[in-house]
Amino acid sequence: MATPIKVNRIGLEPQIYKGGKTTLCAGCGHNAISERIIDAFYEMGVEPTQVVKLSGIGCSSKSPAYFLGGAHGFNAVHGRMPSVATGVALANRKLMALGISGDGDTASIGIGQFVHLMRRNLPLIYIIEDNGVYGLTKGQFSATADLGAKLKTGVINDLPAIDTCIMAIELGATYVARSFSGDKRQLLTILKAAIAHKGTAMIDVISPCVTFNDHEGSTKSYQYSKDHDEPLNELGFVPYFENIDLDYDPGTTTNVVMHDGSSLRLRKLGRDYDPTDKLAALHVLQEAHEKGEMLTGVFYVNPEAPSFVDLLNLVEEPLAKLPESQVRPPKKVLDEIMETLR
């Protein structure tokens, strides 16, 4: 008897979630992130044609070509993906928007766009593939490079790092997490919960650049990340369609019910931590910097906050599909508006 073909809850095979063959360096952290994205979208049963992948410029921004081959895609200008993503998400609210950026793309040239994206709580998953350098242009420091980090050439970074998670929390993103490309389980769980979230999910993934930033003295290398990774919480995720009623102890585990009814379980690891407390999130992140820890996990989640789509009171039907008769005001209305401007 032939082996039955493996399919997900919407009847699609894993193959459908893949993309083209990667052209990134073998061992690049970005490739591992692409694999987790493939797993997460397959396991959550998201139809790839209902997804739009957006990116800027960089090795990281090339990676949307290597997953979800059937999705829509737009490769924007360096650091300018957020404005394109905003237009796309508003023009068609039915599509799931997935933005892939680099630390240079986000925190250096794109910082202005990033800031305004985070304060809008647009429904979007925004992933920073963070290697602390401009990989595509041969390894110069980016704005997320840690103070005192060393390049292969011996150059020392003498500027403090921008922490994109701290910025995102302060500015208004409603799901903020950090992970490591080498931690398959944690990254997959963080991605699945991000798919269940309805506002901006900002995920900074430490993703070593094996060619330019994986040596001794780098604070974004595989070895350094393995040695300094400090998980804030142990994560579990129960999607709404699995309907499993797992017991958990509220003394040790916080249960956050996501917008679609899925559950994100955050089990304490030593310290007391409430992931819905913004100030606590900022505090643990600052503390981690002082201790030199690479803190990972879900720092902040607010499933209740209105998204930008709610704030704008958009109609259910995607704007892009409305007929002209509904988007163009009749002459009489335009005349009335003009009258008020006299």
Ligand X SMILES: Cc1ncc(C[n+]2csc(CCOP(=O)(O)OP(=O)(O)O)c2C)c(N)n1
CB of 56 to ligand X, least distance (A): 7
Given 65, 89, 93, 103, the residue binding ligand X (CB under 6 A): 103
Closer CB to Mg ion, 99 or 135, in the complex: 135
Of the candidate residues 25, 91, 166, 309, the single one contacting ligand SF4 (CB under 6 A): 25
Question: 143 vs 256, which CB is nearer to Mg ion?
Answer: 143
Q: Is 134 one of the binding residues for ligand X (CB under 6 A)?
A: yes
Cβ closest to Mg ion, residue 54 vs residue 90 = 54
Q: Which residues bind Mg ion (CB under 5 A)?
A: 102-104, 131, 135
Judged by CB under 6 A, which of 89, 124, 136, 235 binds ligand X? 136
Instruction: Report the residue number, 104 or 231, with the smaller CB distance to ligand X.
Output: 104
**DSSP per residue, 246-267:** ----TTTEEEEE-TTS-EEEEE
Q: Is there binding between residue 176 and ligand SF4 (CB under 6 A)?
A: no
3-state class (DSSP) for residue 310: helix
In sequence order, the β-bridge partners of residue 257 are 263
Q: Compute the least distance from the CB of residue 129 to ligand SF4, in Å.
A: 8
Can you list the pairs that 223-231 forms with residues at least 24 positions away whose Cβ atoms lie under 8 Å? 224/294, 225/180, 225/182, 225/294, 226/180, 226/182, 228/292, 228/293, 228/294, 229/180, 229/183, 229/294, 229/296, 230/288, 230/293, 230/294, 230/295, 230/296, 231/186, 231/269, 231/295, 231/296, 231/297
With CB under 6 A as the contact rule, the residue among 67, 126, 212, 308 that binds ligand SF4 is 212
Q: How far is the CB of 73 from ligand X (least distance, A)?
A: 17
59 near ligand SF4 (CB under 6 A): yes
Distance, CA of 307 to CA of 123 (rounded, Å): 6
* Length, in residues, of the chain: 342
Is the sign of the CA dihedral 62, 78, 42, 187 positive or negative?
positive
For position 172 contacting ligand SF4 by CB under 6 A, the verdict is no
Neighbours of 141 (CB within 10 A): 23
Site string for ligand X, 14-53 (x = CB under 6 A): ----------------------------------------
* 28, 43, 44, 64, 122 from 54: Cα distances, Å: 20, 21, 20, 8, 14
Residue 132 backbone class (left: φ over 0; alpha: ψ -120 to 50; beta: rest): left
Which CB sits closer to ligand SF4, 27 or 148? Answer: 27
Q: How far is the CB of 151 from ligand X (least distance, A)?
A: 13
Q: Is 28 in the site for ligand SF4 (CB under 6 A)?
A: yes
Query: Which stretches of the chain bind ligand X, using CB under 6 A?
Result: 57-60, 78, 102-105, 109, 129, 131, 133-137, 142
Query: Which stretches of the chain bind ligand SF4, using CB under 6 A?
Result: 24-25, 28, 30, 59, 131, 135-136, 209-212
